[in-house]
Amino acid sequence: MSVLTREEAQTRAQFLDVHRYTIDLDLTAGEETFDSRTVIHFTATAAGDTFVELKPATLRSISLDGQPLDPADLVENRFPLTALTPGAHELHIDAAMSYSRTGEGMHRFTDPTDGETYVYTQLFMEDVQRVFAAFDQPDLKSVFELGVTAPEGWTVLGNGIAEHRGDGHWTLAPTPLISTYLVAVAVGPWHSVTTEHAGLPFGIHCRRSLAPHLDADADEILDITRACFDRFHEKFDEPYPFDSYDQAFVPEFNAGAMENPGLVTFRDEFVFRSAVTDTERQTRGMVIAHEMAHMWFGDLVTLAWWDDIWLNESFAEYMGYQTLAEATRFTDTWVDFGVARKGWGYDADQRPSTHPVAPDPAAVPDTASAMLNFDGISYAKGASALRQLVAWLGEKDFLAGINTHFARHKFANATLADFIDNLASATDRDVHAWADAWLRTTGVDTLTSRVEESDGTWTLGIDHNGSRPHRIAVGAYDHAPDIHPHNGTERLVLRERFEIDVPPGNTPHPRPGRRPALLVLNDGDLGYAKIRLDAHSWETVLTGLSGIPDALTRAVVWNTARDMVRDGELAPTTYLEAARTHLPHETDLALAQGVLAFADTHIAGRYLTPEHRPAALATLTALCRDLIRRTEDGHNPGLRLIAVRHFIDAATQPDTIQDWLTNGTVPGGPELDPELRWRILTRLAVLGATDEATITAELEQDPSATGREGAARCRAALPTPEAKATAWHALFNDDSLSNYLFTATAQGFWQPEQADLVRSYVPRYYPEATRLAARRGPAIADAAGRYAYPAYAVDTDNLNLGEQALSDKALIPALHRKLTDQIDDLRRALTVRNTH
């Protein structure tokens, strides 16, 4: 397949004006293909040649201005349009298109619970070509008119209000000018909850089998939607630019969500069918707010080329967290950002694959390279930079610049230069210099505190390893005169918090009084930098971390400890000891989840040698037992649920969790819902304490889509040669697994407890994953690199194999990027092991 280059896109944008697409999709043609008929009205500004993109199963006919063209002229995904004359043209295309099972293009899913079928589009980057013919680039915006023929009983959702004309024929209201990648339909026997707000129809939709679960949360979802909608209208001068607002929770979705104007699609795991924590509800709320922010930044104003994808994602990420905190009951969103997202950005920014938030255009020459930039830098680092910018400019000036940006470029495209110029128009500060320092550089600065004390004063010095300017808060904490009233641990109180600017170099900051017991740089987590504490402060942390009064400050300190472990500066066992000491007293759910996840996945799973893994797991199970005991009175069910989940994952003996499964409950609660049952069964499979018959019986009790994924995960985790051979064949040779079943099987395959059993598969992984990615494309390549990679094998043999594989010319970019990151993480894990 030919990928679109930036140069080609610029040439075509100068040559064409695209006015209108009229698209008819017939979804009644069978289970493998659907019919797609497209008419494109466009104008050529000069005489010349161009091309239109499509990826059909069969191209039946194509004509230009009434003259038939030869379908055989289609080469890969391009059909040439030669000798165009200046003026208006009309292109007609009739094709059969293939349904997808990988979440790309028009994805088709049949629900195993009730046999109902659903289809939906995901057209991002270049997948529109899998659904209809298009001049597929973001700066050729157009009006889209869609008609859909669907089976009787199905509902059609799209970018505009849908009207049923009878006999399964639906029409969608014409869109305003939008980019090709933002066109969307979602079709099937949806269960819907509808309302009206601000004069617009609002709706939420899911599969029928999930109806009771959506209904249970409908008020919460719609309340958040309305609150964020109203808050954005307080922030933005431009009103919401589309005619309706639907949110569809769709099956087997690859991303978290997609900002299609008027029809946001979400992965339907956000329709919770099992118990979740309040932090998980907050995450769903943040994604709702994030996607709504895109209606303005991304949909109303769209990037001109994919090097500016951060403009979409960083803005929506920042606005998602900030607006949710301002408009809803979820007021502590930035704690979750600090724990769950900030580390993602820090990690990505220290890998060989790092890139500037705003990469040089030359670094994004085509769509394949652009796809690689959807990472922790474009989301978490970019949002952190914007948060730092807002703190520096002030929110009033920031929003003034944003509103100027919307007014100047609405229903059009804009570049980074446009964005910076519009921000600069609202302030006297040098926004261009800020952009040079923050958006066009790579890496994470490190700020290390030094404290000297003499003659009734103490002086803060900051060693600044990096080049960016920082505006941060510094928190000075003292020991409280009493111990913590609830848990008997040391308590700390804030003496003062002051803000400083950190230029390159070392600037001393004298303060009156004795030195504080704990000095925290970046208190409040407004900055983007790794933090290192002075020795005295670190000693205080080891005894008093849980006594720090503010959760956001605790997040900064826990992230410091996490980064020190990754950098080989803190023994993994010391982190575990700190978790064992302080986590039983933690009240913030995001922090508890984040610390336990790092301790389980990274420390017990990778940073400690196999002989030390059992002791680490024993520490984690003991810690989780403490949390379970602490929550016996039912006052914190979210913390109890987190503890139960991690106890299951860390169990080294089957007895306790087998009793839970047999009895259907954890003593004192919670009762086991499907998620917990499959979680236990997966761990029992790893430990060799269950079998195929038990897995089959569980699947009969839960024949849902997630039940199928749970069974696939369990079967791949069984510690037998036959189970591993079957799973490997399904992953790398069968090609029939959907994207979600592929992921579930991969998650079950590699287990640290089964190192001897799976060792022979490690050298097979690299060539077979390379061939798989070439056959099945970027979505499966991403899953193969993310989930099917042998991360458990922390040894030089795996490292050498991986480094050799990176030189294979057959690696497609999506897999090459994933392997680059995995191998860097492997290299880091080996360093940690060799250091401690």
Catalytically annotated residues: 291
What is the identity of the amino acid at 295? M
DSSP labels for 151-179?
A: -TT-EEEESS-EEEEETTEEEEPPP-SB-
Distance between CA atoms of 210 and 114, rounded to whole angstroms? 11
Q: Is 455 helix (H, G, I), strand (E, B) or coil?
A: coil
DSSP labels for 504-555?
A: SS---EEEESSPPSEEEETTTS-S-SEEE--HHHHHHHHHHGGG-S-HHHHH
DSSP 732: I
- Residues 647/629, Cβ–Cβ less than 8 Å: no
Both tokens of 357, joined, read 């938030």
With b for 16 or more beta-carbon neighbours within 10 A and e for fewer, the 126-147 pattern comes to: bbbbbbbbbbbbbbbbbebbbb
DSSP labels for 560-581?
A: HHHHHHHTTSS-HHHHHHHHHH
Name which of 217, 321, 327 is nearest 276 in CA terms.
Answer: 217
* SS (HEC) of 630-690: HCCCCCCHHHHHHHHHHHHHHCCCCHHHHHHHHHCECCCCCECCHHHHHHHHHHHHHCCCC
Both tokens of 787, joined, read 């989930």
Helix (H) / strand (E) element for 302: namely: strand 301-303
- Residues 302/179, Cβ–Cβ less than 8 Å: yes
Polymer length of the chain:
836
DSSP 269: G
Q: In what order do the strands lie in the sheet containing 162-166?
A: 67-69, 58-64, 87-98, 33-44, 16-26, 143-149, 169-172, 162-166
Neighbour tally for 548: CB within 10 Å? 27
- Residues 517/478, Cβ–Cβ less than 8 Å: yes
Q: Is 830 helix (H, G, I), strand (E, B) or coil?
A: helix
Distance between CA atoms of 465 and 527, rounded to whole angstroms? 14
* Pairing of the two strands 245-250 and 263-267: parallel
> Can you count the helices (H) and strands (E) in the chain?
28, 28
Distance between CA atoms of 338 and 594, rounded to whole angstroms? 10
Name which of 836, 379, 350 is nearest 563 in CA terms.
Answer: 350
Gyration radius from the chain CA atoms: 27
Q: Is the dihedral of CA 389, 393, 395, 397 positive or negative?
A: negative
Axis-axis angle for helices 762-776, 778-786 (nearest 10): 160
- Residues 833/794, Cβ–Cβ less than 8 Å: yes
